[in-house]
Structure 1
Amino acid sequence: MSTDGATTGALELIVIVVVVVVKIGIIVYVCNRRSNMRKDPYVEDSRFIPLTMVKFLDDMERERPIRFTSQQLRIATENFSILLGSGGFGTVYKGIFSNGTAVAVKVLNGTSDKRIEEQFMAEVSTMGRTHHFNLVRLYGFCFESSLRALVYEFMINGSLDYHLFKSKKGIVIGFEKLHEIALGTARGIAYLHEECPQRIVHYDIKPGNIHLDSKFCAKVADFGLAKLCNRDKTHITMTGGRGTPGYAAPELWLPLPVTHKCDVYSFGMLLFEIIGRRRNMDVTLGDSQQWFPIWAWRKYEKNQLNDLMIVCTIEEKDEEVAERMVKVALCCVQYRPETRPVMSIVVKMLEGALEVPEPFNPFSHLFPGGVSEGGDSLARIAWNVDGFCWSSSEVVTKSTVVTGTPLMRRYEITMASD
């Protein structure tokens, strides 16, 4: 009996040893595999990436966006063969992942690696921290020596400018839907300004940066110029010119303080183009209608908005909403930032939840007599969530005004460029 017991004990010991050895082998294999996966391709690539960028990428990997490899994106985009569009900050290609998810891959370009890195960090740090129905969703990014790219959700109906200015190719959108697009855009900007942990200023609100999903819901996109701001700072430090001529607020190219209200101004200019379904500057039209915003103001001032409704082919059932949109646009493009409403108020006015106050002439600075001061204090109280001192500018950005037709030179208007 004692011999059998010893034999059984020895067998049990052998089994235990074998199991332990097998488990250790599995653990070593898994660890080696994970180590190899981490080395490919990032360790090799990190030799060419500045330490600040490596730290930034590590921080972002702990956030929501996924880090893709260049190989994954080349496969998804069929080697970048399906071009969606291009602009000053990159070229966009369509891609489809193996699970069927359609994406828009924006390959960044610039005049220098530093500029590309600035664009990359602006977009990833902005979109990686935001989650709102009216903002384009960032799925992930790629940052390798051979490829800097951002991976966004694919917007099947493209950008708003395609439908506003290229109606022969795009779907003609009804005015009720255009109002919804304007409202959705306003909600997206309001979220950036007032609901994010850090205020985000977009700097480039325009139809080309408003994308439309399968139901034509508006989503704000392209954050290559965006800037994160602390809420306790009333003014923004500028290190270079921002925005698109024709949409950029006056303070971006004049010696005036820069705040988040520059986005409000750009939204107002966008709203005019939605109302008119045309570019604000159209040199093919008669002198009086070449610049739509000032023509709209003159019609409003003379109580002749019915003429605008006819020219813009707005049906009678939509006239009340259209008039409200005109008044909101005029409020948004006021010359001085503190007389413009904050975006949450813009949303309520477009919804009809707040009555739109009678706007002052936003173009009085273009005529003898200068900027109208009347009602400024009332506007501050009614429209500003957090007021500021007008004279405490930190940094001023200046740029040259591009001249065009005599009318454009008279009103210091610059052509919008995509």
Structure 2
Amino acid sequence: MALQTVEQTTSAPHDCRNHRHSCNFLWANSWRGNMEDPSRHPHLAVVLFVVFSVVTAITRWFPRRKYQYLTNFDTKPRSVARRALLNKPTRTTMIPRTVARRALPDEPIRTTTIENFLNKLAEERPIRFLPQQLAEFTQNFTVKLGSGAFGSVYKGELPDQKPIAVKVLVGIMDKRMEEQFMAEVGTIAGTQHINLVRLYGFCYDDTLIAQVYEFMENGSLDKFLFNEDDVDTLQENDRKVIEFGRLNEIAIGAAKGIRYLHEECQRRIIHYDIKPGNILLDANFNPKVADFGLAKLMGREYTHMSMTGMRGTPGYAAPEMWLPYSPVTYKCDVYSFGMLLFEMVGRRKNFDCRAAESEKKWFPKLVYKQWDSGMLGEVMAARGIEQKAERERAVRMCKVALWCVQYSAEARPSMSKVLQMLEGEIEIEPPPNPFTGLYVSDVPDSHLSGGISNSNDLQSLLPV
């Protein structure tokens, strides 16, 4: 009995060690099981998440770079702020990166603003339309606005309900038409001015060649100048008679557009065809220069260019454009603008074959003769310009026109000076006779057939 007790006593430590080993084994298996199945101990996942969050917050707030964003860069991009800090490392007013990021404008708002800017920038560039699109915009070309030697112009509407004018070129696509298309699209596509018609896009396809412009509600200026005597015709066509004060503003606006082409574009643009038919008017009678089919780009390092053929419209083309291979400068547009001013003051064609007296047939010569004799007021009264303010503007326009149509291109002013004279910023010096250099042999047959019936009529117009 005692022996049995001793054996049990001596074996007890061995049992305890076995029991402890078995407990450790069970605890390890339990931990391994918990790692394999965290759902058995959900508090473990919570502890791990809390530890991970604390470590992330510490690393995020801890200044990992030597210099952080400054408070005075809150409205600048991060890269700009970083460059400024690298250039000036002595500043000490620093804030954590997250605070600097919050100080910047809201990220979604900034992204939206940039996207709107990029979309607007893309809309300002000419778009290449498909023939099916233009047919849909114009309702299969049903509303015709006008026509000419180039083709026809139709009214349409873009999907955003913006009215447009579609100029469709017709005829065989020869070299001349290709040059006209490239000149018009290439020049006006890179220009943006309030007094230049805007090109929305174009279409170049085997079935359709067209240009898409902004729609000008009041059409071209010539419709308001040459039909004023026929009041019934104006009322039938639902057109208004433009007051002379408005005509003066139209002349100034057109001069600004031409000045932009000559002096403010990266490459000088010579229009070659300034005339009332190419001055378009919007709903508020604001003028826009249009029709760049004859325009040419000229580098500013060049003083002139040679021409292989006649350009422009007879009656508006400068004398140097009559002769082939003659040097032509941008001053040819100044000459055409002067002829435009004469027609705006007289509200008539410069040459009127219906005039009873020969001296009244050619209005520019009549203006110079009356101005030289101090009787220009009679011309103004005959054209219905009676108010003092309007008469002063008309006299100023006549004097500017006489400077613009000087026979020598070097004697003509630039468009900047023309604009200053029209606006009354500088005093206009007495212009010399611009017609002393004209001879019958200088005038081509196209000018004779275009308005002057024969050489005898022309001889009566030119000075002796």
Tell me the TM-score normalised to structure 1 length: 0.75
Alpha-carbon offset, residue 115 of structure 1: 2.3
Q: Please give the alpha-carbon distance, in whole angstroms, between the structure 2 residues aligned to 1:133 and 1:265.
A: 23
Q: Please give the alpha-carbon distance, in whole angstroms, between the structure 2 residues aligned to 1:151 and 1:240.
A: 28
Q: Is the 8 A contact 1:334 1:361 kept in 2?
A: yes
Alpha-carbon offset, residue 354 of structure 1: 1.1
Residues 289-329 of structure 1: CA deviation (Å, up to 9, x unaligned) = 11100111110111101111111110223111111100000
Paired residue for 2:158, among 72, 80, 97? Answer: 97
Q: Is the 8 A contact 1:297 1:330 kept in 2?
A: yes
Alpha-carbon offset, residue 186 of structure 1: 0.5
Aligned to 1:280: 350
Q: Please give the alpha-carbon distance, in whole angstroms, between the structure 2 residues aligned to 1:105 and 1:312.
A: 36
Q: Please give the alpha-carbon distance, in whole angstroms, between the structure 2 residues aligned to 1:114 and 1:400.
A: 23
The verdict on how the C-alpha distance between 1:111 and 1:143 changes in structure 2, with shifts beyond 3 A counting, is closer
Aligned to 2:386: 315
Q: Please state if 1:141 is matched with 2:202.
A: yes
Aligned to 1:405: 453
Please tell me the residue identity of whatever aligns with 1:163: F
Q: Please give the alpha-carbon distance, in whole angstroms, between the structure 2 residues aligned to 1:304 and 1:119.
A: 44
Alpha-carbon offset, residue 254 of structure 1: 2.7
Residues 168-206 of structure 1: CA deviation (Å, up to 9, x unaligned) = 323100000000000000000000000000000000000
Aligned to 2:4: none
For structure 1, the 5+ residue unaligned runs are 6-60, 372-396, 414-418
**What value does the CA root-mean-square deviation take over the aligned residues?**
2.5
Please tell me the residue identity of whatever aligns with 1:107: V
Aligned to 2:296: 227
Q: Please give the alpha-carbon distance, in whole angstroms, between the structure 2 residues aligned to 1:109 and 1:402.
A: 28
Please tell me the residue identity of whatever aligns with 1:232: E
Q: Is the 8 A contact 2:124 2:200 kept in 1?
A: no
Secondary structure of 2:354's counterpart equals: coil
For structure 2, the 5+ residue unaligned runs are 1-32, 39-121
Alpha-carbon offset, residue 331 of structure 1: 0.2
Secondary structure of 1:365's counterpart equals: coil
Q: Please state if 1:299 is matched with 2:370.
A: yes
Question: More helix per residue: 1 or 2?
Answer: 2
Aligned to 1:32: none
Aligned to 1:342: 414
Q: Please give the alpha-carbon distance, in whole angstroms, between the structure 2 residues aligned to 1:90 and 1:315.
A: 41
Please tell me the residue identity of whatever aligns with 1:284: R
Aligned to 2:278: 209
Q: Please state if 1:351 is matched with 2:399.
A: no
Alpha-carbon offset, residue 330 of structure 1: 0.3
Paired residue for 2:396, among 314, 320, 324? Answer: 324
Q: Please give the alpha-carbon distance, in whole angstroms, between the structure 2 residues aligned to 1:366 and 1:124.
A: 36
The verdict on how the C-alpha distance between 1:247 and 1:97 changes in structure 2, with shifts beyond 3 A counting, is same
Residues 124-174 of structure 1: CA deviation (Å, up to 9, x unaligned) = 111111010000011111111111110000000000001111233231000
Aligned to 1:248: 317
Alpha-carbon offset, residue 227 of structure 1: 0.2
Q: Please give the alpha-carbon distance, in whole angstroms, between the structure 2 residues aligned to 1:320 and 1:400.
A: 36
Alpha-carbon offset, residue 409 of structure 1: 3.0
Paired residue for 1:270, among 340, 354, 367? Answer: 340
Higher RCO (C-alpha 8 Å, min separation 6): 1
Q: Please give the alpha-carbon distance, in whole angstroms, between the structure 2 residues aligned to 1:271 and 1:356.
A: 15
Q: Is the 8 A contact 1:254 1:399 kept in 2?
A: no
The verdict on how the C-alpha distance between 1:198 and 1:408 changes in structure 2, with shifts beyond 3 A counting, is farther
Please tell me the residue identity of whatever aligns with 1:272: F
Residues 108-127 of structure 1: CA deviation (Å, up to 9, x unaligned) = 13453322221111011111
Q: Please give the alpha-carbon distance, in whole angstroms, between the structure 1 residues aligned to 2:457 and 2:179.
A: 33
Q: Please give the alpha-carbon distance, in whole angstroms, between the structure 1 residues aligned to 2:123 and 2:249.
A: 35
Q: Is the 8 A contact 1:89 1:224 kept in 2?
A: no
Secondary structure of 1:146's counterpart equals: coil
Q: Please give the alpha-carbon distance, in whole angstroms, between the structure 1 residues aligned to 2:281 and 2:360.
A: 29
Q: Please give the alpha-carbon distance, in whole angstroms, between the structure 1 residues aligned to 2:323 and 2:309.
A: 13
Alpha-carbon offset, residue 402 of structure 1: 2.7
> Aligned residues, how many?
333
Alpha-carbon offset, residue 243 of structure 1: 0.1
**Higher Rg of the two aligned structures:** 2
The verdict on how the C-alpha distance between 1:142 and 1:112 changes in structure 2, with shifts beyond 3 A counting, is closer
Aligned to 1:236: 305
Q: Please give the alpha-carbon distance, in whole angstroms, between the structure 1 residues aligned to 2:161 and 2:123.
A: 25
Aligned to 1:384: none
Aligned to 2:327: 257
Which deviates further from its counterpart, 232-241 or 268-277?
Answer: 232-241
Alpha-carbon offset, residue 235 of structure 1: 0.9
